[in-house]
Copies of this chain bind each other. A is one copy, B any other.
Amino acid sequence: MILDGVELRQLEYFVAVAEEQNFTRAAVRLHVVQSAVSAAVKTLERELGAPLLDRNSKRVRLTDAGAALLPRARIALDAARDARDAVAEVHGGLRGILRIGTMTSTRLLQLPALLGEFHRRHPGVLLHTSVAPHGSQGLIDALAERRLDLAFVSLPGPPPAEIHLTELACSVLDLVVPDDHPLATREAVTLADIAGLDFIDSPVGYGNRAVTDRAFAAAGLSRRVTIEIPDIATGADHVRHGLGIALLPRFAVTDDHGVRLLSVTGADLNWTASLATPVDRPVGAAARALISLTAEFLP
């Protein structure tokens, strides 16, 4: 037994605890009871001859040994998944779990339709999608840290070196104003017309927010973002109730009574969605299958 009893199950439990910083949440994620995780990590520490986690009833932290182990444990788990996927690919059926990060607003990409089709083609693959609490930048971080296999992001500007972006779709952001707003009678406006006004927008880190911030900065103008909303589908409602104006894609305005949509000229308000993949490691077979389907589905 050249690995002294160390097994993938133990590495998986360790990684879950390290990521959750909590044994109980890790147990929920792993679908076992808390004491099973506690015992498995204790056995792993005995087998490796080093404490990996420094913990009490209030806090869980990595030790130096644990910090050394964590990225390598992820690599070992990814390698084992890749091995399993390679067998599935040869044997005619992909299996496993594909961890996908998505932006809050997936309608830019018709993601439900894409994932639905993927599921029909590969029923053995479980899709774990997670929405980005910290926007696309948070998804990029998770991808780099091997907590995600793929991510659908909106990231204006060049990506980090370890991430490859494939542009998938693009939508223009229009100005949405209440229909009694002084600008409501216009067909189009410029950024100068709306500089300094109160805006409703997504939080910093979201792709659409980055697009709007960049456009104002490029024009040498500023504005006030007085309300941040994580879901742009509620943007038109906020506008309707007079809480501010907003720059939104048309598809996010499903009920346009009480608001007007105006074009914005002379500014780059293109909101691009991309598929982010890692550069520094091969992607698994299921991820490759989804990448292929994405290329075929969203030309």
Complex: A254 Cα to B118 Cα, angstroms:
71
A82 to B9, CA, bound (A): 17
Do residues A68 and B49 form an inter-chain contact, with CB atoms below 8 A?
A: no
A86: B residues at CB distance < 8 A:
68-69, 72
A205 at the interface (CB under 8 A from B): no
> Cβ of A91 < 8 Å from any Cβ of B?
yes
- Complex interface: chain B residues within 8 A of A52 (CB): 87
A: number of interface residues (CB 8 Å): 42
Chain A 42-56, CB within 8 Å of chain B: the 1/0 string? 000000111010000
The stretch that binds B, out of A93-101, A153-161, A188-196, A222-230, is A93-101
Interface code A180-216, partner B: CB below 8 Å = 1, 0 otherwise? Answer: 0000000000000000000000000000000000000
Contact with A7, one of B9, B64, B69, B97 (Cβ below 8 angstroms)? B9
Residues of chain B within 8 A of A31, CB atoms compared: 1
Q: Is A73 part of the binding interface, using a Cβ–Cβ cutoff of 8 Å?
A: yes
Whole-angstrom CA separation of A3 from B87 in the bound complex: 13
Answer whether residue A88 sits at the interface, using C-beta atoms and an 8 A cutoff.
yes
Contact A4 B72 (CB under 8 A): no
Supposing A1-B9, A83-B11 touch, asked if A64 and B76 sit within 8 A by C-beta, the answer is: no
Interface of A, secondary structure class, is helix
- Kindly state whether residue A81 has any CB partner on chain B within 8 Å: yes
| A20 interface hit (Cβ, 8 Å) | no
Q: How many angstroms from the CA of A52 to the CA of B91 in the assembled complex?
A: 10
| Residues in B neighbouring A93, C-beta threshold 8 A | 49
30 A–B contacts, CB within 8 A, in A order: A1-B12, A1-B30, A1-B31, A2-B81, A2-B96, A3-B8, A3-B9, A3-B12, A3-B80, A3-B96, A6-B8, A6-B80, A6-B84, A7-B8, A8-B8, A48-B84, A48-B87, A48-B88, A48-B91, A49-B91, A49-B93, A52-B87, A65-B87, A65-B90, A67-B90, A69-B83, A75-B79, A75-B83, A76-B79, A76-B82
Q: Knowing that A7-B9, A11-B80 touch, tell me 5 more A-B residue pairs with CB under 8 angstroms.
A: A1-B9, A6-B80, A11-B83, A65-B87, A72-B83
10 nearest A-B pairs in the assembled complex, by CB-CB distance: A72-B83, A50-B91, A76-B79, A68-B86, A68-B90, A76-B80, A65-B90, A79-B79, A65-B87, A48-B87
Q: Which residues of A contact B (CB under 8 A)?
A: 1-4, 6-9, 11-12, 30-31, 48-50, 52, 64-65, 67-69, 72-73, 75-77, 79-84, 86-91, 93, 95-97
